[in-house]
Amino acid sequence: MVLGTLSAGEILTIAFESAVAVGCEKAVEGAWDKGKSLWGIIRRQLGREPEAEVALALVEQSQTLDYLPSEIVQFLQAELFRDPAFAEQVRCLAQEVLVLGQPEAENIAINATSHDESTQKVVGKIEAKEVNF
């Protein structure tokens, strides 16, 4: 998944996989707590809809998204549209879970080639004792 605007389905998948299905012994440090928080926020918001509450409880119990009806994604999409603060909160948390869930790289090589006079820019945080260009 690419960071940016996450869809309702992607947000549900991230929340589920990081908080419900994975469990703390397999989760990357920090991602599990954020995932649990994300899942809880979604549960509270969608819990107002009885059908959504039943479906989310079944998903938790079965620990699989196989029982998640497509209507739940539509409920979440409607809530994301209806409540911009909620949308911002869950999208930010989902992106944090994605970032925290990525293994840290020891060595990263970036090859950038330009065949004209364009400028190439690589954005990121570098924490290193030595950087060679």
> Which helix H or strand E contains 95, and what residues bound it?
helix 84-100
- The answer to whether residue 1 is domain-embedded is no
Query: Of 8, 4, 3, which is closest to residue 70 (Cα–Cα)?
Result: 8
What was the pLDDT predicted at 17?
Answer: 82
For residues 31-43, average pLDDT = 87
**CA 120 to CA 113: how far, in whole Å?**
8
Q: Which of 19-28, 52-61, 77-86, 95-104 is the least confident region?
A: 19-28
Band (pLDDT 50/70/90 cuts) for residue 107 is low
Distances (CA, A) of 73 to 12, 78, 103, 107, 120: 7, 9, 28, 38, 38
Amino acid 125: pLDDT? 61
pTM here?
0.67
Tally of domains within the chain: 1
Identify which of 55, 68, 52, 62 has the alpha carbon closest to the alpha carbon of residue 13. Answer: 68
The model's pLDDT over 75-104, given as tens digits with 9 standing for 90+, comes to 899 999 999 999 999 999 998 888 877 655
* Separation CA 94–CA 84 (nearest Å): 15
Q: Is position 96 within any domain?
A: yes
Q: Is residue 132 part of a domain?
A: no
Say if 88 falls within a structural domain. yes
- The answer to the question of residue 124 being in a domain is no
Residue 109 lies in a domain: no
Residue 117 in any domain: the answer is no
Which long-range contacts (C-beta less than 8 Å, at least 24 apart) are formed by 82-89? 83/45, 86/41, 86/45, 89/41
Q: What range does the domain containing 38 cover?
A: 8-100
For the chain, give the mean pLDDT: 76
133 in a structural domain: no
Inter-residue contact 6 to 22 (CB < 8 Å): no
